[in-house]
Amino acid sequence: MGNDLNDRSRTILEAIVDDYISSGDPVGSRAMTRRHNMDISPATVRNVMADLEEMGYLASPHTSAGRIPTDKGYRYYVDSLLQLRELTSREKQRIEDHCNVEKKSVESLLQETGKALSSLSSYAGIVMAPRFTSTVFRHIEFVRLSGGKVLVVFVSQSGLVQNKLIELDEDLSQRELEKITNYLNNALSGMTIQEVKEKVAAEMKQEKALYDELMQRALNLSDKALAEDVEERVYIEGASSFLELPDFADVGKMKKLFLAFEQKSRLVDLLDKSQEASGVQIFIGSANSYNEIEGCSLITSSYRNVHGTIGTLGVIGPNRMKYSKVIPIVDYTARLISRLMETGLGKEK
Amino acid sequence: MGNDLNDRSRTILEAIVDDYISSGDPVGSRAMTRRHNMDISPATVRNVMADLEEMGYLASPHTSAGRIPTDKGYRYYVDSLLQLRELTSREKQRIEDHCNVEKKSVESLLQETGKALSSLSSYAGIVMAPRFTSTVFRHIEFVRLSGGKVLVVFVSQSGLVQNKLIELDEDLSQRELEKITNYLNNALSGMTIQEVKEKVAAEMKQEKALYDELMQRALNLSDKALAEDVEERVYIEGASSFLELPDFADVGKMKKLFLAFEQKSRLVDLLDKSQEASGVQIFIGSANSYNEIEGCSLITSSYRNVHGTIGTLGVIGPNRMKYSKVIPIVDYTARLISRLMETGLGKEK
DNA sequence: CGTTAGCACTCATGATTGACGAGTGCTAAC
DNA sequence: GTTAGCACTCGTCAATCATGAGTGCTAACG
């Protein structure tokens, strides 16, 4: 499949998608032939359109309007018709300027990147930090607060920081906490959190742990500390750009979209999916069964350091997104962030 | 000022504001007398309305529409007419259920509180964490990453965590960093960041620092670590509730509002202002010269622990907000958070 | 046989109109 | 001081209509 269309059909489909992307109005046969200086008559175009509609690439909102692309139409356009251009060095520079603003922290780098993606694409930028369980352990710290509460601070190898409050069963002095801290920092260095969890679980079962009080406490504590994985991992920036799109003039749709942005959880699922694949991925319309973001397409790419994929970023926009413009932006940004995380932060010396 | 209206005028003004808040439509004389079973004629009401308009409490969108309250009108209503009711214990329970969800971290507590405020008020909830410079120092930690980068992690007494990347001039081993860490943790405990900054600046000038290499490095490092204050301090939740309000049907207004929510910086100014005052504060309309949030009113209250005010929270909604409902919610939530920060986290043992 | 011109038909859009109703201000009477 | 009455204003809504872009179909053309 993919190339089951003849040349003329392909040309016409491309023209329709192009026109619809830039105007947002259903495109009709005559206006189209004129705009593209085609040397075939509107009637011919109409025949072809009827075929394309039959095949599921186009749809007509109502009898006497023009045609609009279906999800399948967009998909074909993106996969087989679209030719990407390189970014100019000026554009590359703009991306770098946006992201390279003095790195205050990894979190703010990711957030800035989201803003950059939004600003450059004029849609919404989305950046997902690594899933916690798959980050690599770098440092753990326990700080006693009042009321038997202890604040646990983790630092991952890529420089992400997470913190969590836990409650102690038994009162430990700051001194004891420090011992435990040292023990854990030595024992766990370089493992992923997932591995750490497994190791902790395994050792807790072992006999010898029962006799080493310090170790027992350490295990107990880290077990609690790692128990749940409940962080804010997604930054969405520039959602307000959707407000201008006529595609979402319906308040109901818009509301659904913004609620999805606020909840994020479903988006995390979607982005997790794309985490494994390499290169730019494109989710079109509700092809993805996430009807919260109906009418939206998502262009993502993962970023990585020497240890592998560490996160995903991309742009979320309407189905009729300027793919040819956005895809190179996402691609380049992902590479840039990979580079930044590599040289600046992520790599262990 | 405040009571320069006679009883009838006050009754009528109150009725108008009430009606407008619940309907959103300009309220006319006849409909109003009927709705409130008033024993005066519409004509009389009209006379009073004309007076109120003259005095600046009301305005008419056009000749033959009803009246709507001006900012001044709302202000009078809130200050002199509104009578607050206590929350029922069921409502209190709902707030507590929302906020008291297992405290994973201070940040997530604050964010949950924002969601609670939004959900309970059906407007947008807003929560501001303490200004960094005024938080009380609890713990600092340096973690070496690659490329001469060091990650600094601060913990405040209330359990807030912040992190920042800094670059070292000279290469320090993790061992040296630990020494510095210990030194700083002992020397700075219990001071506000502002005081810490001042102390560091003062000591850097002193002769003796020049001879103690460790101390010099420590000062140097902490100077860098504290240099800038660039964090995400504001959580806004439930902004999408504005999408349903007819008051913001105009896309331009809506966009301006959402951009303000995204940028946050102006809101921080506004909330900082209200930080000092105690009790519930109400900002109405553009009385506050923040025209980004034109048409919005803000109800805030600060929360505090034993050391004093540590943050601000509230609800942001349209001018015609259900003040009588929202004010008690904000008040109660602020007290609740104060209590949680007090007993759970903030108080040093 | 593919292509095209011609034609009848559909349908969204936008402007125009008129009835309606809710509202106002003013004046005069109570 | 209060109210009834009245003329007037204006936004809203529904109906109507012209317009124009679009379609599908058929028949003619090269």
pLDDT in tens, chain B (349 residues): 446 788 999 999 999 999 999 999 999 999 999 989 998 999 999 999 999 999 999 999 988 889 999 999 999 999 999 989 889 999 999 999 988 777 788 888 999 999 999 999 999 999 998 877 778 899 999 998 877 788 999 998 888 898 888 887 777 777 888 888 888 898 888 888 888 888 888 888 776 666 777 778 888 888 888 776 655 689 999 999 999 999 998 888 899 999 999 988 888 888 888 877 889 999 998 666 677 888 899 999 999 887 778 899 999 999 999 999 999 999 999 999 999 887 654 333 3
Apex A308 CA angle, A302 and A312, nearest 5: 20
B149:A139 CB<8 A: no
What is the rounded CA–CA span in Å between residue B262 and residue B321? 22
What is the rounded CA–CA span in Å between residue B234 and residue A157? 27
B139 CB neighbours in chain A (<8 A) are: 141, 143
> Nearest Cα to B132, choosing from B203, B232, B60?
B232
What is the rounded CA–CA span in Å between residue B272 and residue A280? 43
Contact B245, B23 (CB under 8 A): no
Nucleotide nearest residue B65, measured CA to C1': C23
| A176: closest CA of chain B, how far (Å) | 15
Assign 3-state DSSP to chain B and report helix, strand, coil percentages, each to 5. 55, 20, 25
Contact A48, A84 (CB under 8 A): no
Q: Which phi and psi (to 5°) does residue A136 adopt?
A: -95, 130
Find the CB nearest A159 among B138, B145, B259: B145
Residue that has been written with the tokens 């960093």 in this structure: B177
Determine the average pLDDT of the residues in A118-141.
Answer: 91
Q: Alpha carbon A144 to chain centroid distance?
A: 36
Q: Domains plus CATH for chain B? A: 7-81 (1.10.10.10), 89-131+233-346 (3.30.450.40), 133-226 (3.30.390.60)
Determine the average pLDDT of the residues in A110-129.
Answer: 96
Q: Which phi and psi (to 5°) does residue A152 adopt?
A: -100, 130
3-state secondary structure of B127: strand
Could you tell me the sign of the dihedral formed by the alpha carbons of A134, A140, A145, A149, in that order?
Answer: positive
| A280: closest CA of chain B, how far (Å) | 27
Q: What is the dihedral of CA B94, B98, B99, B100, to 10 degrees?
A: 90
Measured from the Cβ of residue B292, the count of other Cβ atoms closer than 10 Å reads: 16
Q: Which two tokens stand for residue B235?
A: 């959580």
* pLDDT, tens digit, 9 for 90 and up, residues A152-191: 999 988 888 988 888 877 777 778 888 888 888 988 888 8
Decide: CB of B30 under 7 A of nucleic strand C.
yes
What is the rounded CA–CA span in Å between residue B255 and residue B270? 20
Q: Which phi and psi (to 5°) does residue A83 adopt?
A: -115, 125
A164 CB neighbours in chain B (<8 A) are: 104-105
- What pLDDT was estimated at residue B341? 83
Helices (DSSP H) in chain B: which residue ranges? 7-23, 29-35, 42-54, 71-76, 89-99, 106-121, 174-188, 193-205, 207-211, 213-226, 251-263, 265-276, 323-340
A303-331 burial, b at 16+ Cβ within 10 Å, e below that, comes to bbbebebbbbbbbbbbbbbbbebbbbbbb
What is the rounded CA–CA span in Å between residue B108 and residue A271? 22
Average pLDDT, chain A: 87
Nucleotide nearest residue A42, measured CA to C1': C4
For residue A300, the cross-strand partners are A281, A314
- What pLDDT was estimated at residue B207? 64
Return the minimum-mean-pLDDT range out of A74-78, A291-295, A329-333, B47-51.
A291-295
What is the rounded CA–CA span in Å between residue A236 and residue A126? 5
Measured from the Cβ of residue A143, the count of other Cβ atoms closer than 10 Å reads: 22
Measured from the Cβ of residue A241, the count of other Cβ atoms closer than 10 Å reads: 21
What is the rounded CA–CA span in Å between residue A301 and residue A335? 9
Task: Count chain A–chain B contacts defined by CB atoms under 8 A.
Answer: 127
Quote the DSSP letter at residue A77: I
- B234-237 sheet: strands from edge to edge: B234-237, B124-128, B308-318, B296-305, B281-283
Q: How far is the CA of B44 from the C1' of D1 (A)?
A: 10
Find the CB nearest A164 among B104, B163, B165: B104
Contact B152, B141 (CB under 8 A): yes
Contact A63, A53 (CB under 8 A): no
Integer Rg of chain A from CA: 26
3-state secondary structure of A152: strand
Contact B345, A147 (CB under 8 A): yes
Q: Which phi and psi (to 5°) does residue B37 adopt?
A: 50, 50
Q: Which two tokens stand for residue A30?
A: 């005559």
Q: Which two tokens stand for residue B254?
A: 């809506």
| B345: closest CA of chain A, how far (Å) | 6
Q: Which two tokens stand for residue B178?
A: 């630990």
- The CA distances from residue B169 to B61, B166, B220, in Å, are 64, 10, 10
Decide: CB of A38 under 7 A of nucleic strand C.
no
Decide: CB of A59 under 7 A of nucleic strand D.
no
